[in-house]
Amino acid sequence: MNSSPDENAGRAYAERTVRALGAGLRLQTWVAIGMAAVAFLAGGKVAAGSSFCGSLAVYLPGWLFTALVARRLGGDTAAFLRAAALAEFGKLFLTGVLCAVAFIWVRPLAPGWFFTGMIVVLATGWVGLGRAIR
């Protein structure tokens, strides 16, 4: 069965988008590691661990969101929107759970470094998304 030109264009766009999202996640990984190194040099082991925990609290839910939504790219629009909405809710919920877990069970924790790691990795995700859209 032959595919229509529109279907082929949709698949090509989906493949480019998935590659760009993967590149964004790799960038976030390296930024999280770099941020932990900066925190270690500036504040020691507690700062580095706190920064890395904050980075993970943003990175892991973002990775899960990307994995769930990327499977629906290029397919049925309704299925994509449903998956994106559920994945976004799951991402926000998991981020909250990971933050709560860190503040309850990670001792000692430097809150400033924790939130710095979160913000830097989150901003890196936005940069990666901006690069993917271009």
> Distance of CA 85 to CAs 42, 74, 110, 116, Å?
39, 16, 33, 27
∠ Cα 92 98 99 (to 5°): 90
Domain, as residue range, for 24: 5-133
Token pair, residue 65, equals 């969101």
Residue with tokens 């264009």: 9
What is the spatial distance between Cα 70 and Cα 67, in angstroms, rounded to a whole number? Answer: 5
pTM across the whole model = 0.86
* Total of domains in the chain: 1
List the alpha helices (DSSP H) in the chain: 5-43, 45-70, 77-105, 111-133
Q: Which of 123, 2, 132, 134 is nearest to 54 (CA)?
A: 123
**Farthest CA pair distance, the chain:** 61
pLDDT tens digits, the chain, 134 residues: what are they? 556 666 676 677 778 877 888 888 999 999 999 999 999 999 999 999 999 999 999 999 999 998 888 888 777 888 889 999 999 999 999 999 999 999 999 999 999 999 999 999 999 988 877 776 67
